[in-house]
Structures are given as C-alpha cells and as structure tokens.
Amino acid sequence: MHRLVTIRFSHYNEKARWALDRFRVAYRESPWMPLFHMLGVVAATRGRGEARADRASSRFSTPVLVADDGTVLRDSAAIVRWVSDRYAPPGEELYPTAEVGELETRLHDDLGPHTRRCAYVYGLEDVGLVRELARRNVPRLQATLFIALRPMIGRLLTKGLDLTPESTRRSLATIHRVLDEIEPRIAGRRFLVGDRFTAADLAFACMLAPTLLPSPNEGYGGYLPPLERVAPAAATLAREVRERPAGRFALRLFAEERGERQVPAFPPL
C-alpha cells in the first residue's frame, strides 16, 4: 500500500491527501508534527526521491509519498500529478492544460507561505492550542514530546519561518492581494480553469486553508482549530476571508470536491 508521510495539519500536505482521497486510493498516513517530520522523512525515504529545498520549504519537506511500486515523490505538486496520471478516470484528470500547473506553482509560491506564517504567528504562543493540535494530529507519545519541547521548537520555527510582526503584516497584505487577483477570475464561475475541477482549484483551496480554518466536517483532512478556539486576530482573519468570494469559493470546493478520507483520521476526530 502507498504511504504518505505528512505534517498532518499542513496545507501542502492536504493537497496530496485530497488527490488520493478524491480518487479513492488506498494509503497509509504517517503523521508528524513540525521538526519531528524530518525523522519521518529520512526514515521513509532513506535517501530516495528528489529532495529539493524551494521557496516554501527545506529538502526534508512533507508531503512525501512512498508508493507501492517504490516510487518516492517529495513534493505536493509531483504527488498530485502522479495520482492524477495513475488514478483519474478519463475526463477527470487534474491537469488538463498547462495553465493549471502554472497556477498551482504561483499559489505554492505566493500564497502558501503567507497563510502558513499567519497561522503560526497566531497559534504558536497559545500553549493550550498547541497541545490540542498535537493531540488531535499525531499519536500520543509524539504529541507529548512535542508539547514538552514546544518552547525550543517555537524558537526554531519563529526563526525558520521569519515570524515577526513586520513579516506578518506583509503576509496579510500579500494574502489579500492574491485574493484580489483571483476574485475577478472566479466571478460567476465554478472553477479556476475551464469548466471542471482541476489541480488549480485543489491547490487554491489548500493554500488558503490556514486562514479559513476549515473543520473536518467542512472537509479538511487534518485537524485545524475551530474559529472560536483561536486568537482574536486569527478569528478576525478567518471571518474576513470566509466572507470574501474567494473564501466562499474555497469552502465550496472543500464541501463538494474533496472526497472522503480513505484513512481514518488519527486520533479519531
């Protein structure tokens, strides 16, 4: 069976899970918390697959797919494309045109890191929230270790992801600018490219998710905290984005196009 190594609540990881779930592909998920994920990635890949740092991540980034035939893919777009090539029924392929891949790359570079930064800035200082995230996303021993090491991990993430008030202000402005650009494109339309669901829609909904905080019931495949549980700034951002046409568009995609999780969430949600 395929194995997917994830930082389970992460939006880049949700891309890979969504593709697998959409086409009802059987797989196992190995869920990790940030930084611990490096152990999972090294153990699962043992040097296999193309490891590349990019604008969003290090060379140990997740998701990693270790397929049943030995293929090892270490990038969400490569995984979504592989799943589509292998499992999409005719007419439901996720990359019908080159424009889809181009848009996916833009969203990966220009939206994903900014929504992630806001989520970490608003969440990392809340010890209770970090505990909840760990307990709902990874097995108990790992969660306990993560909670114990949180102050140190928090410092590393703050440095690694440049979590400062100034960078957060820039990220917020970037998020709204990207949504300003996307909204004319989706006005009166159901999908970003053409007249059916593609990897561009999938990528857009996932890259926006850290600001929307979709619940498992709304279709998200990991556990993100509900609006009433997060810092006021995070709840305000979530409400603002949810009220925008782009936010409503993304939530509809989760509701209508996500498909059901093929592996039960761990621990059960």
Ligand X SMILES: N[C@@H](CCC(=O)N[C@@H](CS)C(=O)NCC(=O)O)C(=O)O
45 vs 183, beta carbon nearer ligand X: 45
63 vs 247, beta carbon nearer ligand X: 63
CA distances, 15 to each of 20, 47, 116 (Å): 9, 23, 14
Q: Which residue type does 20 have?
A: L
62 vs 189, beta carbon nearer ligand X: 62
Please give the backbone phi and psi of residue 66, each rounded to the nearest 5 degrees, phi first.
Answer: -105, 105
159 vs 239, beta carbon nearer ligand X: 159
- Interatomic CA distance for residues 19 and 200, integer angstroms: 12
Shortest reach from residue 112's CB to ligand X, in Å? 7
Shortest reach from residue 184's CB to ligand X, in Å? 26
Shortest reach from residue 75's CB to ligand X, in Å? 4
Residues 6+ apart with CB under 8 A from 243: none
Shortest reach from residue 209's CB to ligand X, in Å? 11
Decide if 5 contacts 67 (C-beta within 8 A).
no
- Interatomic CA distance for residues 97 and 28, integer angstroms: 30
- Interatomic CA distance for residues 125 and 86, integer angstroms: 42
23 vs 60, beta carbon nearer ligand X: 60
25 vs 245, beta carbon nearer ligand X: 25
60 vs 87, beta carbon nearer ligand X: 60
Shortest reach from residue 189's CB to ligand X, in Å? 25
Decide if 44 contacts 5 (C-beta within 8 A).
yes
Q: In the complex, which residue's CB is closest to ligand X?
A: 57
How many other CB atoms sit within 10 Å of the CB of residue 101? Answer: 18
Q: Which helix (H) or strand (E) holds 241?
A: helix 232-243
Write out the residues near ligand X by the rule CB under 6 A. 7, 10, 12, 37, 54, 56-58, 60-63, 75-77, 108, 116
Query: How do 72-73 and 64-66 pair as beta strands?
Result: antiparallel
Shortest reach from residue 91's CB to ligand X, in Å? 26
Handedness of CA 175, 221, 72, 135 (dihedral sign): positive
Shortest reach from residue 15's CB to ligand X, in Å? 7
